[in-house]
Structure 1
Amino acid sequence: MSQSQASATADGAALELASYPMHIDGRPHTTGTWLDSENPWTGRAWARVAWGGAADVDLAATAAHRAFTIGPWAGMTPTERGKVLVTAADALAAQTARLAEIEVRDNGKLLAEMRGQMDYIPEWFRYYGGLADKVEGSVLPLDKKGYFAFTRKQPVGVVGIITPWNSPLLLLAWKLAPALAAGCTVVIKPSEFTSASTLEFVRILEEAGVPAGVVNVVTGFGHDVGARLVDHPLVRKIGFTGSDATGRLIGAQAAAGLKRCTLELGGKSPNIVFADADLDAAVNGVVSGIFAATGQTCIAGSRLLVEESIHDDFVDRLVRLARRARIGDPMSPGTQVGPVTTRPQLAKILGHIDQAVAAGATTALGGQVPATQPSGGWFVEPTIFTGVTPEMDIAQEEVFGPVLAVIPFRDESEAVRLANSTRFGLGAGIWTSNIERAFRMSDAVDSGMVWVNAYRTVSFMAPFGGMKDSGVGRENGSEAISDYLETKTVWINTGAPNRDPFVLG
């Protein structure tokens, strides 16, 4: 990202950039300074996004707090809020093609994948719209006579949402839909690399009836916008998706303000293939887990644990399939692997590859920038390493790119030990035809999600989140709304006698 007013075409002609101001209290907002948003396919700027700072967070948090306390949103019943979300779902569904194209320009993922995500996102708003008036307290049985007690659920207040660059709108929906269903208001800080789609998204929500001030967007960098959002006294909860390093900083800063956090962090997820598996299906699943989305997903199956007896055959099958992957323009329907989203991420991926080679891993496939670049963008070949040992960085650290580390195992117990040998615990795939083994392994692997004979499947109905360094809390499903609610206990004296005022009753 760089400060700029315009870019240039290949022949040097000036190129007018689309402009995206911040969105605060229902209105566009700028400071007069802009950031380039670069297209990973071309390596050139295609839009400019307003460059905000801490003062803009203050404006947005104040607007969100006002909307939470005195605006029309505050006066809505849960049923009315739910209807707004369902209406918003229909409005978003009508704009999926446009939103998908913006996502591709911003993050370089395949149009087919982004279109699939955009088509699916309205379901989060329908689901939580329906759930909004199903949140219930309870009447409490008591051991004390003369009292009636009950609980009620109330929204926590203003929520700060911080989203990454890999799937900006999908991961926003996971947080925003339950927050709004609960009655909260929000301030969103999208990645500085991929802010345009979020700004378009929020305008659609307001056109669909979400009142001004309920959803605000402040664009800029983490060190000022993100830090102030986490620290702001009016913000009572943080929802974050990103790296475990940043998650630690956010968690510590939020804890200082006694704020709630949901942290969906990284992973080093294993795909575990046993000899009795359907090997063709397993190969497809492994490829999907690491090379789809150019490996830029928190649940990437970046470790392949394969039973020794089939290791060589399985790797051969895997290399043959991955070698055929078509690298190119993410807007083209024939492309299977698109560019890396950011320049810094490309450098990071190549650094991990160099480190793996230096550590003694064998390059079975890829490992380089394509010899013939499809464009001026940022590409790395699908890469497979064999000869990997568990202590190598390539087997321990999240690369966030199309790089797979292959490690053989002898038996089930060793597979479990290897699967659990990293600090992460987000996802895991188990490939076997033995149903008893499937249950044993799904129980033994330290992972928030386990897929058996499948991989990289998600739903608005199914909780998503990790163990260990992969995060805190769960998104999606009915339990996600609880993170945006406070429980209040109410005691009513129905005839209890006066008691000693100096003794706990």
Structure 2
Amino acid sequence: MVYINGAWRESNQTIDVINPATGEVIEAVASVGQKETKEAIQSAKEAFKSWKKETGEKRGEYLAKVVELMKERQAELAETITKENGKPLVDATGEVISGIKYLEWYAEEAKRVYGDTVPASHPDKRILVLRQPVGVAAAITPWNFPFSMITRKLAPALAAGCTVVLKPAPATPLSAIKVFECFHEAGIPKGVVNLVIGPAEEIGAEMTSNPDVRKITFTGSTAVGKKLLRDSADTVKKVSMELGGHAPLIVFEDADIEMAVEGVLASKFRNAGQTCISTNRVYVAENIAEEFGKKLAEKVAHLQVGNGMEEGTDVGPLINKHALEKVETHVQDAVNHGGKVLSGGKVYSNHEGQGYFYEPTVIQGATESMKIAEEETFGPVAPIFTFKTEGEVIEKANHVTYGLAGYCFTKDLSRGFRMMEELEYGIVGINDAAPITVQAPFGGVKESGMGREGGKYGLDDYLEEKLVSVNTK
């Protein structure tokens, strides 16, 4: 089903939702196109006229109602994520909790959209700066976090006073439908939130070309992000983009090796490596590389691969066959270029012989000549590179065009400060492989995107500043 102007709609066209752990079709959902997207945008435009005038407190009350409904349905929401995405149920539960926190935060932050009074250069003038909602926002969300990526966009947009048309990834539309069921039950006014599911090019083209859409927010690949930027240029839309990543994780010789190993496990193998901030390159000081690789491989070998619905599963399937083939290609290329597989290294056949599983893998002796050093693998593979000096590893860590997240493990406080300043990434974790939190800004630099989500910073991309000068003479 899709949700337009406060009502659910069916369609003659459908999309099959497949469980990546089994290859089975879970459900068929309605698929719409340009016509329905245009209707949804028009509904959002009409609803904006009144929604923008609601007090921040009132908008926050609607978000708070949604929070309560989601908390009641936490188990159902988590199971939906696992069935359509594949991640272990414990991780899916964590995603639901995280997604709800964004709604909670912005339910309060809606009351704090402050303006300014600016000192005038003339005694007969008064200068005000108003912060007002930009208008209709079109949101496009990915499959790897099908619940929290939606709430992370809807929450600040609605808190700021924008209305929204949202398109989820076709692989994981069921989580989006559950989110909108909660908004519907919370009684949010018609047209304030709208859900369209269907072909990316057709829906995206309407979103980027329609002059009534004043804001595009997207999470996904850099290639698609660049296309959306180009297509949005003709109508000069406000845009925020959270794009691809290629995160380095640096382990200096003075680091706590056990802590660093746990950091790689947490950053690399969560969601089978299918997160934008997953570690892609592990740089280890040359004199501890052998010890580090051995310890990491031992830990990785004990990770349990399987259906996310089964208790004890650590690593679930990749999202589809294409993703599995990409991981296979990267590992084979690494081996062809002299890499040594310490753990894993092949497709994992589960007891049912179905699904898109790959063994959690550690590769020693990685080099810059490998595909894995340049391309985002988006899978459970940790390649270990070595370095000799701090200057060398900074250069290697920064050489890619991406700049989303980077990590560093060291006991040297001075070095830690140097690294946080030198690493060209929007997010840097020092002895911390899980730096993301609702009250802090999330986003990248270079070709990893623009704009920020989270905390007070997340409102900025949905607001415009308006100068008002009053002559009091």
Shorter-chain TM range is over 0.9
Find 1:46's aligned residue among 23, 26, 38. Answer: 26
Equivalent residue, structure 2, for 1:503: none
Equivalent residue, structure 2, for 1:56: 36
Find 2:93's aligned residue among 115, 123, 129. Answer: 115
Runs of 4+ aligned structure 1 residues displaced above 4 Å come to 371-375
| Farther-moved stretch of structure 1 (116-125 vs 261-270) | 116-125
* Residues 97-112 of structure 1: pairs in structure 2 closer than 5 A: 97-112=75-90
State the Cα distance separating 1:30 from its structure 2 match: 2.6
The CA deviation string for residues 238-273 of structure 1, in whole angstroms up to 9 with x for no partner, is: 110001111111111112220011100111101101
1:74–1:425: structure 2 CA closer, same or farther, 3 Å change rule?
closer
Equivalent residue, structure 2, for 1:9: none
State the Cα distance separating 1:157 from its structure 2 match: 0.6
Equivalent residue, structure 1, for 2:102: 124
Equivalent residue, structure 1, for 2:348: 370
Residues 1:34 and 2:18 are matched in the alignment: no
Equivalent residue, structure 1, for 2:142: 164
TM norm structure 2: 0.97
Contact 1:79–1:133 under 8 Å retained in 2: yes
Q: Say which SS state the counterpart of residue 176 (structure 2) adopts.
A: helix
Equivalent residue, structure 2, for 1:94: 72
1:74–1:143: structure 2 CA closer, same or farther, 3 Å change rule?
closer
Rounded to whole Å, the distance in 2 between the matches of 1:392 and 1:255 is: 36
Find 2:454's aligned residue among 476, 481, 491. Answer: 476
Contact 1:41–1:375 under 8 Å retained in 2: no
Residues 1:234 and 2:221 are matched in the alignment: no
Residues 1:202 and 2:180 are matched in the alignment: yes
1:375–1:214: structure 2 CA closer, same or farther, 3 Å change rule?
farther
Contact 1:461–1:477 under 8 Å retained in 2: yes
Find 1:256's aligned residue among 219, 234, 238. Answer: 234
* Residues 94-493 of structure 1: pairs in structure 2 closer than 5 A: 94-493=72-471
Contact 1:92–1:205 under 8 Å retained in 2: no
Contact 1:240–1:263 under 8 Å retained in 2: yes
Contact 2:77–2:178 under 8 Å retained in 1: yes
Residues 1:24 and 2:24 are matched in the alignment: no
The CA deviation string for residues 353-405 of structure 1, in whole angstroms up to 9 with x for no partner, is: 23333333332322211245554111111122222222422111101111122
Contact 1:329–1:374 under 8 Å retained in 2: no
Contact 2:40–2:165 under 8 Å retained in 1: yes
| Farther-moved stretch of structure 1 (106-115 vs 84-93) | 84-93
Residues 1:66 and 2:49 are matched in the alignment: no
Equivalent residue, structure 2, for 1:81: 59
Q: Say which SS state the counterpart of residue 58 (structure 2) adopts.
A: helix
Q: Say which SS state the counterpart of residue 139 (structure 2) adopts.
A: strand
Rounded to whole Å, the distance in 1 between the matches of 2:128 and 2:151 is: 32
Rounded to whole Å, the distance in 2 between the matches of 1:424 and 1:78 is: 36
Rounded to whole Å, the distance in 2 between the matches of 1:354 and 1:67 is: 53
Q: Say which SS state the counterpart of residue 139 (structure 1) adopts.
A: strand
Rounded to whole Å, the distance in 2 between the matches of 1:22 and 1:371 is: 36
Rounded to whole Å, the distance in 1 between the matches of 2:146 and 2:307 is: 20
Rounded to whole Å, the distance in 1 between the matches of 2:345 and 2:31 is: 36
Q: What amino acid is the match of 2:360? A: P
Runs (5+) with no aligned partner, structure 1: 1-20, 496-505
Rounded to whole Å, the distance in 1 between the matches of 2:275 and 2:184 is: 29
State the Cα distance separating 1:85 from its structure 2 match: 1.4
Rounded to whole Å, the distance in 2 between the matches of 1:358 and 1:59 is: 52
Rounded to whole Å, the distance in 2 between the matches of 1:198 and 1:337 is: 23
Rounded to whole Å, the distance in 2 between the matches of 1:215 and 1:76 is: 15
Q: Say which SS state the counterpart of residue 239 (structure 2) adopts.
A: strand
State the Cα distance separating 1:410 from its structure 2 match: 0.3
Equivalent residue, structure 2, for 1:16: none
Rounded to whole Å, the distance in 2 between the matches of 1:191 and 1:366 is: 30
State the Cα distance separating 1:28 from its structure 2 match: 1.2
Rounded to whole Å, the distance in 2 between the matches of 1:371 and 1:194 is: 24
Rounded to whole Å, the distance in 1 between the matches of 2:109 and 2:222 is: 31
1:423–1:292: structure 2 CA closer, same or farther, 3 Å change rule?
same
The CA deviation string for residues 397-437 of structure 1, in whole angstroms up to 9 with x for no partner, is: 10111112211000211121111121111111111111111
- Mark the structure with the bigger radius of gyration: 1
Contact 1:82–1:129 under 8 Å retained in 2: yes
Rounded to whole Å, the distance in 1 between the matches of 2:350 and 2:200 is: 35
Q: What amino acid is the match of 2:139? A: I
Q: What amino acid is the match of 1:360? A: G
Contact 2:40–2:194 under 8 Å retained in 1: yes
State the Cα distance separating 1:320 from its structure 2 match: 0.7
Q: Say which SS state the counterpart of residue 84 (structure 2) adopts.
A: helix
State the Cα distance separating 1:177 from its structure 2 match: 0.5
State the Cα distance separating 1:224 from its structure 2 match: 0.9
Contact 1:78–1:133 under 8 Å retained in 2: yes
Q: Say which SS state the counterpart of residue 112 (structure 2) adopts.
A: coil
1:52–1:439: structure 2 CA closer, same or farther, 3 Å change rule?
same
Rounded to whole Å, the distance in 2 between the matches of 1:208 and 1:164 is: 25
Rounded to whole Å, the distance in 1 between the matches of 2:401 and 2:215 is: 26
Equivalent residue, structure 2, for 1:502: none
Q: Say which SS state the counterpart of residue 407 (structure 2) adopts.
A: strand
Rounded to whole Å, the distance in 2 between the matches of 1:231 and 1:402 is: 38
Rounded to whole Å, the distance in 2 between the matches of 1:200 and 1:234 is: 27
Q: What amino acid is the match of 2:468? A: V
Runs (5+) with no aligned partner, structure 2: none
Q: What amino acid is the match of 1:45? A: V
State the Cα distance separating 1:74 from its structure 2 match: 4.1
Rounded to whole Å, the distance in 2 between the matches of 1:59 and 1:347 is: 38
Contact 2:306–2:350 under 8 Å retained in 1: no
Equivalent residue, structure 2, for 1:14: none
Rounded to whole Å, the distance in 2 between the matches of 1:256 and 1:402 is: 40
